[in-house]
Amino acid sequence: MRIHNSEHGCDSKRKHGWSSEVSRARKSLASVRVEGTLQALVEPEKLKSQDGWVVFQNIDGLTVSGGGTFDGQGSIA
């Protein structure tokens, strides 16, 4: 899992301006646990990846758990 931090700050409860890309070479079970809030940038053009602010690819059997929130900032991101 690669996580790219933008120039925006973050605190322990919210991760502001982070983009994340999860890719597996082999198709296998994978899990991601989200606790707290992952929040997209208001200016998505600042992302290193132009695919999106959270990208899961080449994964079979993905499980996302933890009760956290993906906050895409509405129609902006």
3-state helix/strand/coil string of 5-62: ECCCCCCCCEEECEEEEEECCCCCCEEEECCCEEECCCCHHHCCCCCCCEEEECCCCE
Give the domain ranges of the chain: 2-71
* Interval 12-68: pLDDT, tens: 344 444 455 555 555 566 788 888 888 888 777 777 766 777 877 777 888 888 888
